[in-house]
Structure 1
Amino acid sequence: MKIAIIGGSGFVGTQLIQRMSKSATYDLLNIDKQQSETFPTITHIANVLDKDALVPLLAGVEAVILLAAEHRDDVSPTSLYYDVNVQGMRNTLEAMEIQGIKRIIFTSSVAIYGLNKVNPTEDFPADPFNHYGKSKWEAEQVLQNWYKTHGDWNVNIVRPTVIFGEGNRGNVFNLLNQIASGKFMMIGNGENKKSMSYIGNIIAFLEFLVVEKTSAYNVYNYVDKPDFNTNDLVHHTGEILAIKIPTLKIPYFLGMLGGYGFDVLAFITRKKMTISSVRVKKFCAVTQYDSTKAMSSGFVPPYAMEEGLKRMLKVEFLKEKI
């Protein structure tokens, strides 16, 4: 099966290609605006904003996995979220139609639900709080409308929560790095639940959809259970790394005040800061989601949640091989 992974040069795409390339079942193609350091021989440089560039590259492809996205908290200008995430979706669908491709797997996000929601399922109303979440929801709506006139297509949408794992340099890594360095300070009481997804499991689920979910329009939250609260995450990290974690806790309002201070500093200096009001808000928010549908689909995660955390910590901070 010839599969095009659009946006496969990043963290998730690289891990997914690494997994799927072990099977002779797949003929993989990576389309990305950046060269893949790991898989340069199967990578073709193109941007989802350029439909004309996508069309010839998709010749002979049977399924598309769309990973390309603007996702950082500090993307500027904010219009880039909508250019890449929404118009990129339209361009991809139109290029697929030209080439007669009728299968797409799209990685959306639980960000479409907004913050501090009570364990939302896939049927929960969308209420995104930032431009990333809003643009992902708009991209899903593009897909919904497309499917109304393309009922013979197979659409699989995955809404993962925050993804972590060895090689990742996102928010979870930054948090673990602060804990490991001894510079961590808890903001709030630490009782807020944090749903997370281990990279080894999310890429296995994407492959599962390729093989097992070949018809209809399907939407799945993806979360590895059980959900840790922030205190649990700090405790497990300290235990695995065998370090003592500072117990100082800063009230939420002081943390937000500091976040706004860094926002002002970033605006003045035109530099991106590791701390911002958005990141403080996300850190203290309840981000807990229901994944019953995914876990009832026949998929079995290869790794337990705590095992995934242990693998990441060992590789990134203890420099062990796994």
Structure 2
Amino acid sequence: MNKILLIGASGFVGTRVLDITKEEFSTSNFDKQQSIYHPETTTIGDVRNQTELDNALQNQEAVVLLAAEHRDDVSPVSLYYDVNVQGARNVLEAMDKNGVKNIIFTSSVAVYGLNKKNPDENHPADPFNHYGKSKWQAEEVLRKWHQKDPENRSLTIIRPTVIFGERNRGNVFNLLKQIASGKFLMVGKGTNKKSMAYVGNIAAFIKFQLDNLQPGYLVYNYIDKPDFNMNELVAQVEKSLNKNIPSTHFPYWLGMLGGYGFDVLSKVTGKKFAVSSVRVKKFCATTQFDAAKAHSSGFKAPFTLAEGLHRTLHYEFIDTEKDGVTFESE
């Protein structure tokens, strides 16, 4: 049985990966936070601490590096680079000390930047924020490591789009909650598409890569296809919750006018509001990424996008037997 160390697996995605790999692999978790669901296999530690990593990597055969600073409001911003970039360097140093030659790294489609037209894995990097910049820099560190011994080292980089699922409290949950409330107002025609990934599928894709580790360098976007547009997303909420969602559409210009109004109000009062011109613009934009490479690699997603949304909606808004655990967005 292969010994796999997951670094940063106490969170949303890592918990699912541990769930589905523990039977087949000897998995353990290294994280600065205790795992709610897998405390028995978790060692508390920080990727910024070289000694802790050196000890954690003893007798391991592969690493899945999930640990990252990812929130929009991380302060100081140097933390993005201390954890995401230097942390990756520290992991690689610990791997070299312990003779570990296999790593899977979760990066992000944030490396492509904003408003790109369906970028595939060869699209130039153009990150716009510190999170995206630090993820790209970490990728570069990993690629240099692999190039030093490409015949024997295995590097797989996975760039997921926004990930949603049960217990997650990210942007997709907030949008689904707003639609489910019945107070949802559609700005624009609703034909703009949004790339998403269900947590059960991204976890399965990571396991698929673990099952097929071999020397070499691979990079994949991960998105569940086909993409839903906003009208299809509302229809899925209606179907899953068996309720009628008001279908009022506001013209884009009117939505933007309202957004600018809230911008002015925010400046005058110093308060932050849920509506702004930037958020209206983002809501109405098409955000798509190409994932043909992942879906032609032999991987079969265990859930369709509709099934992932249904499972999430049912758990969050219908199921009465919740365990009360929630995770931040990743």
Q: For the residues of structure 2 that align with 1:37 and 1:123, how far apart are their CA atoms?
A: 38
Relative to structure 2, which stretch is displaced further, 3-12 or 65-74? Answer: 65-74
Q: C-alpha displacement at 1:275, in angstroms?
A: 6.1
Which AA in structure 1 matches 2:140? Q
Q: Does 1:201 align with 2:201?
A: yes
Q: For the residues of structure 2 that align with 1:285 and 1:98, how far apart are their CA atoms?
A: 46
The alignment's TM-score, normalised by the length of structure 2, stands at: 0.88
Which AA in structure 1 matches 2:94? A
Distance 1:126 1:26, change over 3 A: same
2:31–2:42 contact (8 Å) kept in structure 1: yes
Distance 1:55 1:290, change over 3 A: same
Q: For the residues of structure 2 that align with 1:146 and 1:171, how far apart are their CA atoms?
A: 34
Aligned to 2:21: 20
Q: Does 1:253 align with 2:256?
A: yes
1:116–1:287 contact (8 Å) kept in structure 2: yes
Query: Alignment identity in percent?
Result: 56
Q: For the residues of structure 1 that align with 2:242 and 2:249, how far apart are their CA atoms?
A: 19
Number of residue-to-residue matches in the alignment: 317
Q: For the residues of structure 2 that align with 1:236 and 1:40, how far apart are their CA atoms?
A: 36
Aligned to 1:311: 311
2:256–2:280 contact (8 Å) kept in structure 1: no
Q: C-alpha displacement at 1:320, in angstroms?
A: 6.5
Aligned to 2:218: 218
Q: C-alpha displacement at 1:149, in angstroms?
A: 1.5
**1:256-303: CA deviation from partner (whole Å, max 9, x where unpaired):** 43674697699x57xx97667765554333211111111111111111
Unpaired runs of 5+ residues, structure 2, are 323-330
Q: Does 1:144 align with 2:147?
A: no
Q: Does 1:191 align with 2:194?
A: no
Aligned to 1:233: 233
The SS at the match of 1:105 is strand
Q: For the residues of structure 2 that align with 1:238 and 1:78, how far apart are their CA atoms?
A: 40
The SS at the match of 2:156 is strand
Which AA in structure 1 matches 2:134? S
Q: For the residues of structure 2 that align with 1:180 and 1:54, how far apart are their CA atoms?
A: 44
Q: C-alpha displacement at 1:45, in angstroms?
A: 0.8
Relative to structure 2, which stretch is displaced further, 246-255 or 205-214? Answer: 246-255
Q: C-alpha displacement at 1:111, in angstroms?
A: 1.1
**1:210-240: CA deviation from partner (whole Å, max 9, x where unpaired):** 0113220000111111101122112211222
Distance 1:8 1:250, change over 3 A: farther
Q: For the residues of structure 2 that align with 1:58 and 1:190, how far apart are their CA atoms?
A: 48
Q: For the residues of structure 1 that align with 2:282 and 2:13, how far apart are their CA atoms?
A: 21
Distance 1:197 1:89, change over 3 A: same
Q: C-alpha displacement at 1:184, in angstroms?
A: 2.4
Alignment of 1:168-183 (within 5 A): 168-183=168-183
Q: For the residues of structure 2 that align with 1:215 and 1:172, how far apart are their CA atoms?
A: 36
Aligned to 2:57: 58
Relative to structure 2, which stretch is displaced further, 178-187 or 253-262? Answer: 253-262
2:189–2:249 contact (8 Å) kept in structure 1: no
Q: C-alpha displacement at 1:37, in angstroms?
A: 0.9
The alignment's TM-score, normalised by the length of structure 1, stands at: 0.90
The SS at the match of 1:224 is coil
1:14–1:38 contact (8 Å) kept in structure 2: yes
Aligned to 2:327: none
Q: For the residues of structure 1 that align with 2:112 and 2:66, how far apart are their CA atoms?
A: 19
The SS at the match of 2:228 is strand
Q: For the residues of structure 1 that align with 2:261 and 2:10, how far apart are their CA atoms?
A: 35
Q: C-alpha displacement at 1:19, in angstroms?
A: 1.0
Q: For the residues of structure 1 that align with 2:170 and 2:7, how far apart are their CA atoms?
A: 20
The SS at the match of 2:221 is strand
Distance 1:60 1:133, change over 3 A: same
Distance 1:28 1:165, change over 3 A: same
Q: For the residues of structure 2 that align with 1:217 and 1:101, how far apart are their CA atoms?
A: 15
Unpaired runs of 5+ residues, structure 1, are none
Q: For the residues of structure 1 that align with 2:76 and 2:262, how far apart are their CA atoms?
A: 20
Which AA in structure 2 matches 1:223? I
Relative to structure 2, which stretch is displaced further, 79-88 or 275-284? Answer: 275-284
The SS at the match of 1:104 is strand
Q: For the residues of structure 1 that align with 2:227 and 2:214, how far apart are their CA atoms?
A: 30
Relative to structure 2, which stretch is displaced further, 247-256 or 151-160? Answer: 247-256
Distance 1:86 1:276, change over 3 A: farther
Distance 1:127 1:101, change over 3 A: same
Q: For the residues of structure 2 that align with 1:236 and 1:67, how far apart are their CA atoms?
A: 30
Aligned to 2:165: 165
Q: For the residues of structure 2 that align with 1:60 and 1:277, how far apart are their CA atoms?
A: 52
Aligned to 2:47: 48
Which AA in structure 2 matches 1:215? P
